[in-house]
Structure 1
């Protein structure tokens, strides 16, 4: 199936998950995140969950990383050019929900995209080659193309990968790893 079909199917599948199913799936994902090798990682970019989209709750991962003295980087979306700007997410950082339901930092310190060591990437579904389908605006493909060559990329997903995603193009960047229950 192509990205458009997969996006529609997996948005619906995620909508249909119950709270208890989500909790069980998240716990399995958290366990796998805690098993990752964080050697050489001093900072990690992570997405904040869009609750209305039933995205994985990343706050427990943020706390796990902070306990390991890893700085947290989050983004603010620019919907005019579909780009992301990155900020340090300190425990004192104020968050504001934008019009799309995305929590974003207010008054936080900028962070250089080329210095990010690890990126946790949101997705709706991935394939067995670790290509992903997101919401279709290309925010993360643009973002990842600007990261340093050795950045570690890890997708977080509730669903097992499909065999292949049809219709990939030169802008689609495979992830190094996808974690799913």
Structure 2
């Protein structure tokens, strides 16, 4: 399956999920995240869910990570350059939705990419080699390419991986792990 077809198919498939399916899938995903070895990880970047796209609710994961005294980092999108800027997300950080429905931090402390140890990555689908298909603008491809070489990456998805994505290119970076309902 190529990226364009996979993007269209899995966006539709996600839209068709019932609230009960989403809750059950998320419980399985959360359980797996809660069992990750984060002992050598401090600064964790995580995406904030776009509710209208039925993305995985990352707030329970954020709460769990805060209980582990991890520093949570989230992004603001620059749609002119299709890049992300990264900010500390603590209990007092205010969020505002941008015009695309993405929650973003307001008046937060900016973080250098080099300080990030782990990135939870959004995706529509991945393949068995851990390559991912996102929304197609390349935000996370650019972000991951700018991270330190030993960055840990974990994709979160409602669906198991497909066999392969046909049109992988030199800008695509495979994730270390993809978590989906078991």
* TM-score normalised according to structure 2 size: 0.99
Partner of 1:80: 80
Q: RMSD of aligned C-alpha atoms? A: 0.4
**How do 1:28-107 and structure 2 match up within 5 A?**
28-107=28-107
SS, match of residue 160 in structure 2: coil
What 5-or-longer segments of structure 1 have no aligned partner?
none
Partner of 1:129: 129
Q: 2: distance between equivalents of 1:16 and 1:79?
A: 28
Partner of 2:4: 4
Q: Deviations over 1:120-165 (max 9, x none)?
A: 0000000000000000000000000111111100000000000000
* TM-score normalised according to structure 1 size: 0.99
Structure 1 outlier segments of 4+, above 3 Å: none
Partner of 1:22: 22
Aligned residues: 181
What 5-or-longer segments of structure 2 have no aligned partner?
none
State the shift of 1:40 in Å. Answer: 1.1
